[in-house]
């Protein structure tokens, strides 16, 4: 079994349903087991800012799938939930990014792991820090909690706990 971390993001309503469905579809896979789930965070859009706020969370999974097969599963879920690629970094029903896979460095046409923008994204680092603060990604010298501390305070403040409003996935 290999360990992997997957980031989920959505900013088209019903955001909560898209997250739930994506988690369920991952959980339905025989060869994927979800072992940790962060809280849900509501986050200001990064990159292309003229769009609605996102809900983001991070999952830790165990899987017997090789990395590109895991990507296939993630992309099949994106397609099933109606994701259309229109604007780079733009609005989406659901986005699944493989952040980390078995502590490996992978660089192919389809897959770069660890995900190259983890260290600059509070919407990834905050939930990742919640479930795995000591995780050390192969491309960075510092563990996740230190990468998070290196991010501007303003960016961290754009990431707010959301399940406190009473919605959870248990």
Ligand X SMILES: Nc1ncnc2c1ncn2[C@@H]1O[C@H](COP(=O)(O)OP(=O)(O)OP(=O)(O)O)[C@@H](O)[C@H]1O
Ligand Y SMILES: Nc1nc2c(c(=O)[nH]1)N=C(CO)CN2
Residues forming the site for ligand Y (CB under 6 A): 9, 43-47, 54, 56, 89, 95, 123
Which member of 11, 45, 60, 115 binds ligand X (CB under 6 A)? 115
Neighbours of 116 (CB within 10 A): 10
48 closest CA partner among 7, 15, 95, 80: 95
Catalytic member of 15, 53, 85, 95: 95
Q: Which residues does 76 contact at the CB level (< 8 Å), separation at least 6?
A: none
**Interface mask (CB under 6 A) for ligand X, residues 84-103, using x and -?**
-x--xx-----x-xx-----
Catalytic: 69?
Answer: no
Are 56 and 43 in contact, with CB atoms under 8 Å apart? yes
Candidates 28, 69, 92, 129; catalytic one: 92
DSSP state of 64: S
107 binds ligand X (CB under 6 A): no
97 in catalytic set: yes
Radius of gyration for the alpha carbons in the chain, expressed in angstroms and rounded: 15
The reply to whether 92 belongs to the active site is yes
Between residues 104 and 168, which has the closer beta carbon with respect to ligand X?
104
Alpha carbon 154 to its chain centroid, in Å, reads: 20
Is there a catalytic annotation at residue 88? no
26 binds ligand X (CB under 6 A): no
Q: Which residues are tagged catalytic?
A: 83, 92, 95, 97
Q: Which stretches of the chain bind ligand X, using CB under 6 A?
A: 71, 85, 88-89, 95, 97-98, 110-113, 115, 117
């Amino acid at each position: 079994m290999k360990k992997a971390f997957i980031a989920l993001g959505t900013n088209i309503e019903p955001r909560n349903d898209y997250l739930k469905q994506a988690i369920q579809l991952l959980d339905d896979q025989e060869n994927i087991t979800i072992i940790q789930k962060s809280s849900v965070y509501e986050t200001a859009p990064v990159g292309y800012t003229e769009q609605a706020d996102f809900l983001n969370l991070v999952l830790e999974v165990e899987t017997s799938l090789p990395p590109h097969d895991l990507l296939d599963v993630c992309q099949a879920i994106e397609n099933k939930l109606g994701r259309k690629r229109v604007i780079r970094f733009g609005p989406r029903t659901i986005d699944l990014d493989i952040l980390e896979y078995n502590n490996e460095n992978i660089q192919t046409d389809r897959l770069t792991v660890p995900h190259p923008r983890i260290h600059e994204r509070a919407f990834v680092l905050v939930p990742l820090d919640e479930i795995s603060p000591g995780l050390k990604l192969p491309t960075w010298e510092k563990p996740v909690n230190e990468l998070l501390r290196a991010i501007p305070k303003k960016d961290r403040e754009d990431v707010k706990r959301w399940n406190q409003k009473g919605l959870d996935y248990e």
